[in-house]
Amino acid sequence: MPWLCLIVFFMFAFNVHADDLKIHGFVAQGVIQAQDSNFVQNDGEVSLKLTEIGLNGSYKINNQLRVAGQGVYLNGGNRYPEGFRVDYLFLEWKLLSDADWQLKLQLGRNKNYHWLYSATRDVPHTRPSIVLAQSMYFDAFRDFALGVDGIMAVANTQNAWGEWDINLSYGSTPVSNKQRDRLLGVHALGKVNHDKDMQASIFWRPKASQWQFGVSLLEVDFSYDAAEQDIYFDGATKTQRMNLHFLYQSENWEFASEFVREKPTLNGLFFPSYKLKTASDGGYVQGRYFLNPQLTLMTRLDLYDRDRNDRSGKKLEALSDGNIPAYFGYMDQLTLGLTWKFAKNIQVQTEYHRVKGTGHLAPYLIPNTEFNQHEYWDMWAIQLMYWY
């Protein structure tokens, strides 16, 4: 990781002054159960696999250069690989920061600033719910959606129409075998490569308005190098994704909504001449009501269709000779939640999900029909969180 060496060099090349170093962190532990589903664990039992711990630092080298990094330990059961990871670590070069424009470049492992909650999806107290809307924030793809090792440009300006955020990123992410298993199942023996990831987004907050509108575009390339004794062949996939983002914030309530249209193409993998071109879509509408500074109510309707030309999943079932039930073609859920901030920097969050379908569970390409035998399933979670 040459970028890591570069950042460490900058950290040691300059004297560290305590005033220029900012440290923050968070700790959260919860209890979760996704009955009749392998979302958290295969047996669907009550689980403590809802741990999120993070520590971050930001050090100003001078008025233009800054190093920022965060390490996290996560345990989400089947949702993503358990363990420690570098969440972000980059060198920031501030080119401009005046009354009209802010422009900066980040080199290293960057965060995804392109969606409403992507930048802090692992930071419990910043989320509207413990489990985010899966149409947009699909947990099995979490590690690829978090950010990239590469370069990011962040710009912000204001003019007569309001405030504008513009973000551009380019890079890739190393893929571990555990992540491979979440995409292809445990029988895959080859190597998944995240070859290229390009994202762009623009957000607009109209002047004297509480609205925020955004659009983001993503193009991502993956390839698969099959092992000698593999059930898969070499393969490559390209996915294009367009998202729309809406946020309205009033004094006592908030409305948030995001929509996604994804167009994946797949060549090879299942057999050398295999070709698949499809389009999935989904989105959610979410409302939050602030009863008082301590208590927040949340409700959300989240819809996802794996193939927009097969919303019922019947073609999927037919093409698999009945091996994959139709309910793997979609995943819709209604969520109700409550957040209680009962002390400074401490809160407890709880929620209940009623889910129809299993279309957005890991492993994604080879659905797990053994542990997901019900079209309707429930999930609940409660999590205690502290941050500083």
- Torsion from C-alpha of 135, 141, 146, 147, nearest 10 degrees: -120
Considering only the stretches 88-96, 180-188, 272-280, 316-324, report the one whose residues sit in contact with another protein under the rule CB under 8 A: 88-96
Kindly state whether residue 137 participates in binding another protein, applying the rule CB under 8 A.
no
Among residues 40, 61, 119, 298, the one that binds another protein under rule CB under 8 A: 119
Alpha-carbon gap, residue 41 to 63, rounded angstroms: 47
Nearest one of 187, 246, 165, 180 to 211, comparing CA atoms: 246
Q: Which helix (H) or strand (E) covers residue 282, if one does?
A: strand 280-290
Residues 1-30 close enough to bind another protein by CB under 8 A = 22, 24, 26
Kindly state whether residue 142 participates in binding another protein, applying the rule CB under 8 A.
no
Residue closer to another protein by CB (options 130, 361) is 130
Considering only the stretches 4-12, 37-45, 122-130, 256-264, report the one whose residues sit in contact with another protein under the rule CB under 8 A: 122-130
Kindly state whether residue 293 participates in binding another protein, applying the rule CB under 8 A.
yes
Q: Which residues is 354 bridged to in the sheet?
A: 334, 378
Kindly state whether residue 156 participates in binding another protein, applying the rule CB under 8 A.
yes
Label the pairing between strands 332-343 and 295-305: antiparallel
Kindly state whether residue 150 participates in binding another protein, applying the rule CB under 8 A.
no
Structure tokens belonging to residue 159: 């003019």
Alpha-carbon gap, residue 12 to 21, rounded angstroms: 13
The CA-CA-CA angle for residues 171, 176, 177, to 5°, reads 145
Other CB atoms within a 10 A radius of the CB of residue 368 amount to 18
Alpha-carbon gap, residue 112 to 199, rounded angstroms: 9
Alpha-carbon gap, residue 106 to 108, rounded angstroms: 7
Among residues 32, 50, 68, 130, the one that binds another protein under rule CB under 8 A: 68
Residues with Cβ within 8 Å of 362's Cβ and at least 6 positions away in sequence, in order, are 38, 78, 79, 139, 140, 182, 183, 368
Residue closer to another protein by CB (options 290, 371) is 290
Among residues 43, 126, 227, 342, the one that binds another protein under rule CB under 8 A: 126
Kindly state whether residue 51 participates in binding another protein, applying the rule CB under 8 A.
no
Kindly state whether residue 345 participates in binding another protein, applying the rule CB under 8 A.
no
Kindly state whether residue 97 participates in binding another protein, applying the rule CB under 8 A.
yes
Task: Tell me how far, at minimum, the Cβ of 329 lies from another protein, in Å.
Answer: 34
Among residues 123, 145, 365, 381, the one that binds another protein under rule CB under 8 A: 123
Using CB under 8 A as the criterion, which residues of the chain lie in contact with another protein when the complex forms?
22, 24, 26, 54, 56, 58, 60, 63, 68-70, 88, 90, 92, 94, 97-99, 102, 106, 111, 113, 119-120, 123, 125-126, 154, 156, 158, 208, 249-251, 290, 293
